[in-house]
Amino acid sequence: MSNNNGVEQVSEAVCDNQEMKPLKTMTLLQNREYLMRKSNYPKFTALTFRGEGLAHWLITPITISEEWDPNNVPKSPINTYSTRALWDTGCTTTCISTKIVKALNLTPIRQGEYASPLYGKETCKFYSVNILLPCGHMVYEHEVNDFRDFEYEDPSRRFEVMIGMDLIQMGDFAITNVGEKTRMSFRIPSIKTIDYNIEYNKIRYANIPRNAPCPCGKMDETGVPLKFKFCCLPEMENY
């Protein structure tokens, strides 16, 4: 349900088994958070972007709402805005378009500067919002800044939110391109290190004896080669 400005009054875009399904009420979101606190339920949520080929843009659904406290859910309808978001590791902070600001009637909490890749350094306003990721995870009272609206001719490249490193660093983020098909996967919160170099070394050093000099070549303070079991092996065993 929405008004003429495109303001949604229900949150939507929750990812179950990598399929986008509507989130009809905030009660469903609260139930999910309750289940995550139970011992037999995953302690994280995750989303996956699947490209039809090699993707130059990572764009997923997203929902922005006026901020509200999860411990005191408003009884009145919560204005939300469902749109598309670009995942941008070159962006320090998460940004929303001025169109979203106007649609949700957001009030700025401060003013500052923003380095835009299109327009250079600009003065911008900062807002506190709630962000619903397509996996159903809600980021509460998150500070974002606005950016000037612009549109690409190609509809597949249009977005109104840029997800920056301030949000990406809350979880684990990986991009693969097997079979020339881009896949981006994100889980929140962060639960495990992803290190392809360790995976490579586990194969490369599989037959190295524990007491042999470490094949990486590191030495101690006296110039004696470190043993494999005291150097790279522990990291590989704990991965």
95 and 122 share one domain: yes
More confident residue, 7 or 84: 84
Residue 19 lies in a domain: yes
Domain extent, residue 217, equals: 196-238
202 and 134 assigned to the same domain: no
pLDDT at 24: 38
Residue 62: inside a domain, yes or no?
Answer: yes
In a domain, 5, yes or no: no
- Residue 1 resides in a domain: no
**For residue 3, is it within any domain?**
no
Residue 2 lies in a domain: no
**Are the C-beta atoms of 63 and 11 separated by less than 8 Å?**
yes
Cβ atoms of 170 and 159 closer than 8 Å? no
Distances (CA, A) of 34 to 85, 118, 212: 27, 42, 50
Same domain as 20, residue 79:
yes
In terms of domains, do 158 and 92 share one?
yes
Q: Average the pLDDT over 158-185 and give the result.
A: 96
Residue 4: inside a domain: no
Gap between the Cα atoms of 214 and 150, Å rounded = 54
Domain harbouring 109, CATH code: 2.40.70.10
H or E stretch at 50 = strand 45-50
Q: How many domains does the chain have?
A: 2
How long is the chain? 239
Mean pLDDT in residue range 182-209: 94
Domain check: are 87 and 117 in the same one? yes
d(CA 167, CA 139): 9
For residue 8, the model assigns a pLDDT of 29
Quick check: is 233 in a domain? yes
Which residue matches tokens 């990291």?
Answer: 235
Positive or negative torsion for Cα 16, 158, 125, 108: negative
Residues 65 and 124 in one domain: yes
Q: Are 108 and 168 found together in one domain?
A: yes
69-78 pLDDT tens trace? 888 877 778 8
